[in-house]
Amino acid sequence: MNDIYAEKMPEEMDEKVVTDRKIEVGHRILSEEQYGTIRFVGLVPPTEGLWLGIEWDNPERGKHDGSHNGTQYFQCSSPTSGSFLRPKKADLGIQFLDAVSSRYIPENIETADVEDSLVVSCKAVEMVGAEKIARTQSSFENLKSVALHEMRISRAGDEKVADKLPNITGLEVSQNLLPSWEELSKITSSMQKLKILDASENRLAIPTNPSSLCSAFCALEELFLNRCNVTWKELLISAPMWPKLKNLHACFNRISNLERPAKGTFDHLELLNMEENQIESWEDVLQLGHLPRLEGLILNSNSISNISFDDAPLEGKTKYFTSLKSLSLHNNRLSEWKSVNELNKLQCLEELNMKRNPLVQSEKASTVRGLMIAKLPSLRHCNHSAVSDGERKGSEIDYMKKYHEDWLKNGGGKDQPDSNLQADFIKNHPTYTALIKKYGAPEVSDDSQTKPGALKSSLLELILSCPQHASKKSIKKKLPVTMDITKVKGMIQKLFKVDVADQKLFYLSPKLPDQEIPLDNDLRQLGFFGIESGNTIIIRW
């Protein structure tokens, strides 16, 4: 049955409800646990009484596009998000200080002794105990952080907030019924110390003059606007309200096309989190590249398929993102390693998070991590884990070995100039030449030594010893003469629990009992150093 005929209500009762509650177009309502915005207040013939035309946040809750019997009463963003509702069924919420009182003043002041805690934007904040609030803070003057998630707040109210909450630095009003930034500013205007605001899961109308509200958010440094149905353009329009903003979280919104912020907009921004939006083009992302202080950019769960800085040569540095240190690109559509190569053009990149992309699904996780480390020399953290000096060295050497044959096939060689290398190889492996200069060319194994018939003669019987650590007993091992020092160190790490980066290896021969010969090139094989069966490898750290 069409909702317009679902219920009849006396006209005088409709009018009384509307008058008492001051219902207006644009107000937010709650009905049967569903949130919506009033788009129409009036009569809908042939029925009697007043109706509210609601555009529901969840389109599945609605029934039409705001029209009835051929008449368009209001507009909806979805053809199924509209319906009509009697005023008595619309919860219009409560004022701000009523919500504060409900949350922080216990019903029984005499017996209150419960310690409260809250979470503001995923950060635990210790709150004043309810007993102390009841006895000494009836005016809330000592409260620093207030969490009012899902408290049905719809308006500031008539009572002055300034006299009640003068010291607030953190405020959470997520998933309430606030209709606009103007209404929210009436709440925060007296909170001159407010630094953190979580207004997520509200549908806040954009003000006609955002600059006029900046005094209400003059100290704001961190803002959460997750699931607010906003676009990037709306954020740019609103930006003058937040002149000192450092961290902006705008996840799960309608952000797709990006445009370059005007000069002076978001100039203080250090972290921008736009996880799970509809960003597809790297050209759009580059519009953020002129933000002067941006150090962290989170673009997880978008649809980015490639990365390119065409303004810079292969081994040069881009003019974009001059301060960017951390980039998160989990769960995108990146499918080619050349996108990772391009990130080496960033001037300050130290952290990269890039799981769940097509390019990383063809290799083991450890291999992918190693390749990222080798391709990005400045990386200090990869996929939320620190990169040690030892891991970097091992990753770079493994990378060199993995593509050593390709290097030779494309003009590489110990005695060959870099100019001989094919352009395609350089394009795919722009850091390879620098690694050759850093470590030297990898040793080429003698294939005959790896044949089954030659295996026995290629094994060395060695003693692994830690003379400075009596608790570490010596171990005898048979190792291939072709085993390189990198793998020897990896084995030692497992046997003696000594990090690769801390190891210093030498070998001792009975022929020269007083001379420890350093094994100082990780790319070289044991045979290169002239080690023989019966020798001892000395391990120091």
Q: How far apart are CA 281 and CA 279, in angstroms?
A: 6
In the chain, % of residues over pLDDT 90? 64
319 by DSSP, 3-state: which?
A: coil
- What pLDDT does residue 120 have? 44
Per-residue pLDDT at 420? 81
Q: Select from 454, 516, 442, 521 the least CA-distant residue to 481.
A: 454
Average pLDDT on 311-329 reads: 97
Average pLDDT, the chain: 87
Instruction: Provide the pLDDT confidence category of residue 68 given band limits of 50, 70 and 90.
Output: confident
What does the block give as tokens for 382?
A: 């990869």
* pLDDT greater than 90 at residue 336: yes
The pTM for the full model equals 0.79
Tens digits of per-residue pLDDT, 18-64? 555 678 999 999 999 999 999 999 999 988 999 999 999 998 888 89
Class of domain 451-540: alpha beta
- The CATH number given to 3-89 is 2.30.30.190
Instruction: Determine the residue type at 95.
Output: Q
Confidence check: pLDDT of 443 > 60:
yes
Q: Which regions of 370-418 does DSSP assign to beta strands (E)?
A: 381-382, 385-386
| 114-347 CATH, one of 3.40.50.2300, 3.30.470.10, 3.60.15.10, 3.80.10.10 | 3.80.10.10
pLDDT tens for each residue of 106-162 = 665 544 444 444 444 444 444 454 554 444 345 577 889 999 999 999 999 887 776
Q: Tell me which residue of 251, 314, 257, 253 sits closest to 281, measured CA to CA.
A: 257
**Which residues share a beta bridge with 484?**
525
> What is the DSSP-derived secondary structure letter of residue 91?
B
Identify the helix (H) or strand (E) that includes residue 392. helix 389-402
Report pLDDT for 131: 52
Identify the pLDDT of residue 122.
42
Residue whose entry in the numeric block shows the structure tokens 């069966």 = 533
| 485-522: pLDDT as tens digits | 989 999 999 999 999 888 999 999 887 778 888 898 88
Q: Residue 503 phi/psi, 5° resolution?
A: -75, 140
Task: Select, from the ranges 11-20, 226-235, 514-523, the one with the highest average predicted confidence (pLDDT).
Answer: 226-235
Rounded Cα distance, 84 and 292, in Å: 48
- As a whole number of angstroms, the distance between CA 19 and CA 176 comes to 22
Nearest residue to 497 via CA among 463, 469, 477:
469
Residue 380 has pLDDT above 90, yes or no: yes
Residue 153: Cβ-neighbour burial (10 angstroms; 0-12, 13-18, 19+): buried
Domain with CATH 3.10.20.90 in the chain: 451-540
Bridge partners (DSSP) of residue 71 are: 68
Q: Are 496 and 472 in contact (CB under 8 A)?
A: yes
- CATH 3.80.10.10 range(s) for the chain read 114-347
The pLDDT tens digits of the residues spanning 193-220 come to 999 999 999 999 999 999 999 999 999 9
Q: What is the pLDDT of residue 41?
A: 93
Lowest-confidence pick of 8-17, 121-130, 371-380, 429-438: 121-130
514, burial (CB in 10 Å: exposed 0-12, middle 13-18, buried 19+): exposed
More confident residue, 13 or 359: 359
| pLDDT score of 341 | 97
Give Cβ neighbours of residue 403 (< 8 Å, ≥ 6 apart).
429, 432
Residue 7 pLDDT greater than 60, yes or no: no
Q: Which residues of the chain form CATH 2.30.30.190?
A: 3-89
Report the pLDDT averaged over residues 320-339: 98
Using the Cα atoms of residue 352, residue 356, residue 357 and residue 363 in order, give the sign of their dihedral: positive
